Structure 1
């Protein structure tokens, strides 16, 4: 769980600080992270192809997929075979943002002009009131600038041309991380960092994508689909926990790619970072008291306890029984009346979401748990990945090297690193129509299963 203050304050695009923390003495083998000079990134000519749903092994979690020689090359314009539609689930209960401390979106500002003098369209993201507008202590020298994109009358979409994921147990006695990568229909990526047992993270691995992708509004209102899906997963898992006397919990970070939109949601301290012109753009908010003061205010406002930057249990000494994150799925011991005597702890499962309009300057996505982000800055992670993409290293190998780098820098937690390389394709087709056949997941049954 979080070991340093990061105060990831906003769901808008945020550049990282150029200053990286010093590595421990034991990490003498750590790679130096210099800001790369951007150039055309070459990709390997031959790469194996596999189908992946999700794994939690400390070895490879997937193999790379890619068919294009250049890092930013567009996909072919010919129309491939349309895969069959995935099953859709029922309507999930709507969650009112106002009931969870969220505020209405700010009034959008006019578009801005880019360096080429052309008009650009700025993507504005609603910032809930629970998110501080102050920059992180890790990024206090940076300026928060919106990312602009060229106006275009053509339909565009971004597709996955390479991916990789790995999970390392590290020095922990158990592996509690899980992850999911799906490519049928709307590409879906999720990282789940469990605590107090493996059950909750495993449940999310098997069920959350079905709840989100099966939502009837996933294409028209994907943020609502993410919120409803995670809240429903929490409700269903708590019901199971009550019957099984299971108090495990999990944080999560998920990402969907719908045409030229990247839709992200997270609960807890799992994070999503986008590489834009080889610079990090943080798309998630860290839900912990040490990094997000507004979360402490929310906990105290409902009568919850705070002790040593942790959420205390309502009925026990908070110095003994506490939780490192303020939002999580599961954690029946902090939510069910049978454990709290009806006293609120303040721990909720409502995610915060953001929507980003992708541009040609957006290169790849990194999704990771706190075992990665606690020891490496956003700039270090993006520089690390970008340099290796320039060298033609496959995404799977980069993900494995990234997890090892986190361990060398002193991470004692489970480490999950997921890397997704994106590229644009223009045309009238939807994202579903040009997902490579080899990347289609075999777990379609999960899209229609009831939790």
Structure 2
């Protein structure tokens, strides 16, 4: 059974206090008994709250990818258990920082591979790492993008683009950074919590940003060319990007989401957009939970997600990275579903009555 949120626990304590204050009309004996009972109940709530907040994640990760229905494989990914150790950097922190990423290339695989290989190093070599990770990650996305622009200017054959989604786990914190339409979904007691937003031209917020920078959306594509509104690379596409103050409508700046992990948080799925073409976020969490309950093997679960996506008719490259926050198998829970209201039009009702009268 899932532990209540910390805010809910606090509300429970407040409600208990109010209930106890309203029962002062009882006899002295009863008051003492009630007080003892109240103390016992409060202690149970506090213990549950501490159990929630004192959670220490035990990390396991797995990954799987497939070319899918494409002629070329342009997805790539990375899983680094200890970012500072990987690059021999003294982080001045006792906390291990783990790094995971999925990169979905387009017009070639060079940008995706470049970002996979360079972004983690740029992050750890930033002067503010690891003290100001949110600023560091945002800056590193932009710096990696600029570095790829220089590489392309020297060798035009490398010109391409890539979406990028990274997740960093340090202590009980999870920081997700996204530029593009890869997606990260957190399983919290079996409920899907989306940790990123898909950056597509149909998004009102993105469209407003695009138009303010001189871009436009045509037939669902950015400047009639790209199906995403944020990506690294694509410097070869005219009118998409600019340097310095003269920015273009295609942005490499990621959107960030930071959460504090609790015992309720089970695992994180990061997938390239080919996965989300055939899975909803909740459907993918449900599918993954069931498999993990069967075998508790994170890598095998990733493989099964990819295989299921192919069975469902996915035609894109497919990549899944999964990060589990527990060693033990997942508990069975009942996930509450939102009520779906159904209605029938007056015309439909009239037609139905006609059929029933026949």
Q: TM-score, normalised by structure 2?
A: 0.71
For the 8 Å contact 2:242–2:248, the answer to whether it is kept is no
Shift of 1:289: 1.2
- The aligned counterpart of 1:286 is 198
> 1: distance between equivalents of 2:10 and 2:241?
60
Change beyond 3 A, Cα 1:380–1:338: closer
- The aligned counterpart of 1:311 is 222
Task: Say which SS state the counterpart of residue 363 (structure 1) adopts.
Answer: strand
Shift of 1:327: 0.5
Task: Say which SS state the counterpart of residue 68 (structure 2) adopts.
Answer: coil
> 1: distance between equivalents of 2:288 and 2:56?
23
Larger RCO (alpha carbons 8 Å, 6+ apart)? 1
Change beyond 3 A, Cα 1:397–1:337: closer
Matched, 1:375 2:278: yes
Select 2:150's aligned residue among 225, 230, 239: 239
Gapped regions of structure 2 (runs ≥ 5)? 15-47, 83-95, 328-358
Shift of 1:165: 0.3
Change beyond 3 A, Cα 1:311–1:216: same
For the 8 Å contact 1:311–1:345, the answer to whether it is kept is no
Q: CA RMSD in A?
A: 2.8
For the 8 Å contact 1:194–1:201, the answer to whether it is kept is yes
Shift of 1:189: 0.3
Change beyond 3 A, Cα 1:213–1:155: farther
- The aligned counterpart of 2:9 is 114
- The aligned counterpart of 2:176 is 264
Matched, 1:226 2:137: yes
Shift of 1:293: 1.2
What does 1:74-223 align with in structure 2 at a 5 Å threshold?
A: 112-114=7-9, 117-118=12-13, 150=49, 157-160=56-59, 162-184=60-82, 185-223=96-134
Shift of 1:206: 1.0
Shift of 1:299: 0.7
Matched, 1:255 2:167: yes
Q: Deviations over 1:39-78 (max 9, x none)?
A: 9xxxxxxxxxxxxxxxxxxxxxxxxxxxxxxxxxxxxxxx
What does 1:315-334 align with in structure 2 at a 5 Å threshold?
A: 318=224, 322-334=225-237
Q: Structure 1 or 2: larger helix share?
A: 2
Q: Deviations over 1:321-346 (max 9, x none)?
A: x0110010000123679999x99640
Task: Say which SS state the counterpart of residue 320 (structure 2) adopts.
Answer: strand
Matched, 1:359 2:271: no
Change beyond 3 A, Cα 1:265–1:154: closer
Task: Say which SS state the counterpart of residue 72 (structure 2) adopts.
Answer: coil
For the 8 Å contact 1:371–1:413, the answer to whether it is kept is yes
Q: Deviations over 1:285-324 (max 9, x none)?
A: 211112x211011111111121011111xxxxx3xxx011
Change beyond 3 A, Cα 1:227–1:308: same
> 2: distance between equivalents of 1:389 and 1:262?
21
Change beyond 3 A, Cα 1:168–1:153: closer
